[in-house]
Amino acid sequence: MPEPLTAKQQGVFEFICSHVRERGYPPSYEEIAEQFGFASPNAVTGHLKALEKKGYVRRSEKSRAIEIVDPSFRQTGIPIIGTVAAGTPIQAIENREGTLGMEDLFGTQDTLFALKVRGESMVGAGINPGDYVVVREQPSVDSGQIGVAFLEGDATIKRIYQEPTGWRLQPENSGMQPIWVSRDDATFRIGGRVVGVVRRVQI
């Protein structure tokens, strides 16, 4: 288990961790010096040596080569390392630009939940069997938005339309019919709006 840190060492270590979480790579010595008002990068070296000795980081001679080895640290998100063309191929150059996390795509996670898709009713909207839909929990959606509805205890993903007599749950599949729900159906409620789709590619 790593040794306890001084207040200043703790601050430096937390800055390194937050930099890695937000950008996908550690800060340079110059960035650490600027963050804490050190007179020169040489002052950073002393703190990093202490962090390394106490088992929190590992260093090399490269500018950004600070590796976090503290087992309690977890990097959230997937590193973004550049761009890729979906049309004409482009040269693939690794250039870390940060990390991709749920909050980057969908905002705060406080009201998000995910559901695994079963069935083909929404394939026309690009939602396929086996996908995961990311849903923002809310009691209503605008007419025509894709949402999760609960009917008689079962959940379904449909494009939800408000109609004069209730709701129309419209599939995105020409071979399927809409589900009509009367306004006085006590078993019906809207669980949230679909804000994203996550798919694992099968190779």
Same structural domain, 146 and 179: yes
Alpha helices in 54-195 (DSSP H): 102-106
Residues spanned by the domain of 183: 104-198
- Mean pLDDT for 101-113 is 71
Same structural domain, 93 and 175: no
The one-letter amino acid at 34: E
Strand segments (E) across 6-144: 57-59, 66-68, 78-80, 98-100, 112-116, 132-137
Same structural domain, 187 and 94: no
When pLDDT is cut at 50, 70 and 90, the band that residue 89 belongs to is very low
Same structural domain, 85 and 117: no
Q: How many domains does the chain have?
A: 2
Same structural domain, 116 and 63: no
When pLDDT is cut at 50, 70 and 90, the band that residue 26 belongs to is confident
- Mean pLDDT for 161-190 is 93
Same structural domain, 73 and 120: no
23, 88, 127 from 121: Cα distances, Å: 38, 32, 8
When pLDDT is cut at 50, 70 and 90, the band that residue 100 belongs to is low
Identify the helix (H) or strand (E) that includes residue 182: strand 179-182
Same structural domain, 57 and 147: no
Q: Would you state the torsion angle of the CA atoms of residues 129, 134, 138, 144, taken in this order, to the nearest 10 degrees?
A: -60
Give the whole-angstrom CA distance, residue 48 versus residue 60: 11
Residue 79 pLDDT greater than 70, yes or no: no
- Mean pLDDT for 144-163 is 91
Same structural domain, 109 and 93: no
Same structural domain, 67 and 48: yes
44, 68, 100 - which closes a domain: 100
57, β-bridge pairs = 68
Same structural domain, 13 and 46: yes
CB neighbourhood size of 196 (10 A) = 14
Active site residue ranges: 121, 158
Q: Judge whether 203 lies within some domain.
A: no
